[in-house]
Chain A
């Protein structure tokens, strides 16, 4: 756990995010029909989902750890990771909707990928509501950990598997080529750096929230 108190990776996160923003707006991107300059949205939209996946995975890992150890701090990590993941979920939806407005013509065009993402969003909102429904702390931690583990594979099926089975307008789904196949190496490098940058950023936000929760938890406990 000492990792979260070190600062080198936070500096790295800021530098990498700055790099992806500057490079993402300045490099020349391949000119493609319909999408044109909106290719640049790849540098911001896709890393949001990557960051969300990373914090959700951390959350599931700590939910499993909680079930094995019943250590309340593991529950705090799990819930704060879900909070940050939901935030990045919203960012991913918004960046996708703005892009869809400019290429598909509508913010919401009843696309399977968009619909599945909305359902997966409901899934994690249900997790947060479930937490509010239970008063007793240990019971809340245990039951919400169980639901969190249960929800994760469903989320993977919703976002990664189902849209690929049907016709979707989304790049990489339904026979549409993904951007990685039609764009050049520069785009790919910036995209991968973006994955790392925003994932680190999400983890940083989650650790800050976790540390606040930890202080509150210690203040509220009796000893």
Chain B
């Protein structure tokens, strides 16, 4: 269980670094809050929109768009902050699988926390129209986990390729679109308060996508990592 030990140690180190600076956390939290606030101001310009029939659809889609951009911003940083020398040091002490696994788990925890805070802020500003809050919250957590797995590997690729924002966006968006389509359908069902058994298929599909992405990340990261 060397891999587990290494992963845990690296995960502790990630959390400790973040706890000391709180840069990624505070930065993305502020990003989410200001985006939500901008959207709130912009939508409140058209009076009576909150009562209209299209409001729940916009509510749901807008939330996922905000989460999408917040997670791109949060996770794009995960490999840039590592200097070349530090990567070389990791190379000598840990296996590449442990490194990518610890990054994925760390990003999952970070995104789960951030999206919990984001949905709270979002509900405070926008009138709550969710019919099944527990299921909606489940979809938010599953969504943040899926975003983390996909974006961690993409950010590793983008950081090797000179790491500009454009590259991160064009590489990740085609991969994330199937995930976000399923998520929007899933969360819309939760919002309308439909029967929970309708969503087992969505959960299964997301679990399968996550499994594929994590498996390919574990297989491919050792090749990506060497310079």
Count how many chain B residues have C-beta atoms less than 8 Å from C-beta atoms of the other chain: 25
Other CB < 8 Å A-B pairs besides A133-B167, A143-B224, 5 of them?
A134-B162, A149-B216, A154-B178, A162-B178, A165-B201
Interchain CA distance A149-B217 in the complex, whole Å: 10
Q: With contacts A130-B171, A149-B216 known, is A157 near B223, CB below 8 A?
A: no
For the complex of A and B, 5 pairs with smallest distance between CB atoms:
A123-B174, A122-B174, A126-B170, A67-B223, A146-B220
B177 cross-chain contacts in A, Cβ below 8 A:
119
Partner of A134, one of B161, B170, B212, B220: B161
The residue that A150 contacts in the complex, of B209, B216, B227, with Cβ under 8 A, is B216
A sample of 18 cross-chain residue pairs with beta-carbon separation below 8 angstroms, ordered by A number, consists of A67-B220, A119-B178, A122-B173, A123-B174, A133-B164, A133-B167, A142-B224, A143-B160, A146-B224, A149-B219, A150-B175, A153-B212, A154-B174, A154-B175, A154-B212, A157-B209, A161-B205, A165-B201
Quick check: is B157 within 8 A (CB to CB) of the other chain?
yes
B226 to chain A, nearest CB (A): 8
User: B153 within 8 Å of A by Cβ?
Assistant: yes
A16 contacts across to B, CB distance below 8 A? none
Say yes or no: B205 contacts A165, CB within 8 Å.
yes
**Residues 34-67 of A contacting B (Cβ, < 8 Å):** 67
Residues of A within 8 A of B153 (CB): 150
Contact A147 B178 (CB under 8 A): no
Q: Which of A127-181 contact B (CB under 8 A)?
A: 129-130, 133-134, 139, 142-143, 145-147, 149-151, 153-154, 157-158, 161-162, 165
Assuming the contacts A126-B170, A153-B216, A165-B205, asked whether A143 and B175 have C-beta atoms less than 8 A apart, the reply is no
* CB-defined contacts of A142 to chain B, threshold 8 Å: 223-224
Cβ of B4 within 8 Å of any chain A Cβ, yes or no, is: no
CA separation between A139 and B157, bound complex, in Å? Answer: 11
Chain A CB within 10 A, most for which of B167, B173, B175, B224: B175
Assembly CA distance A122 to B173 (angstroms): 9
Give B contacts to A, CB under 8 Å: 153, 157, 160-162, 164, 167, 170-171, 173-175, 177-178, 181, 201, 205, 209, 212, 216, 219-220, 223-224, 227
By a CB distance below 8 angstroms, the chain A residues around B212 are: 153-154, 157
Query: Which residue of chain A has the shortest Cβ distance to B181 in the bound complex?
Result: A162
Q: Are B157 and A143 in contact (CB under 8 A)?
A: yes
Inter-subunit contact B157/A146 (CB<8 Å)? yes
What is the minimal beta-carbon distance from B57 to any residue of chain A, in angstroms? 15
> How many positions in chain A have a CB within 8 Å of any CB in the partner chain?
28
Complex Cα distance A16/B219, Å? 40
Assembled-state Cα–Cα distance A162/B208 (Å) = 12
Any B CB within 8 A of the CB of A191? no
Please determine whether B220 and A149 come into contact, CB atoms closer than 8 angstroms: yes
B199: min CB distance to chain A, Å: 12
Closest to B170 in A: A126
Interface string of A94-132 (1 = CB under 8 A from B): 000000000000000000000010011011011001100
Q: Please, which residue of chain B has its CB at the minimum distance from the CB of A129? A: B170
Closest to A161 in B: B205
Expressed in whole angstroms, the Cα–Cα distance for A149 and B175 within the complex equals 13
Residues of B within 8 A of A149 (CB): 216, 219-220
Residue of B nearest to A153 (CB): B212
CB of A146 within 8 A of CB of B223, answer yes
B223 CB contacts on chain A under 8 angstroms: 67, 142, 145-146
- For B161, list chain A residues within 8 Å (CB): 130, 133-134, 139, 143
Task: Return the chain B residue nearest A127 by Cβ.
Answer: B171
Given A133-B161, A150-B220, answer yes or no on A126-B171 (Cβ-Cβ < 8 Å). Answer: yes
Known: A130-B161, A143-B160, A153-B212. A120 touches B174 (CB 8 A): yes
How many angstroms from the CA of A139 to the CA of B160 in the assembled complex? Answer: 8
Residues of A within 8 A of B174 (CB): 119-120, 122-123, 126, 151, 154
Whose C-beta in chain A lies nearest to the C-beta of B216?
A: A150
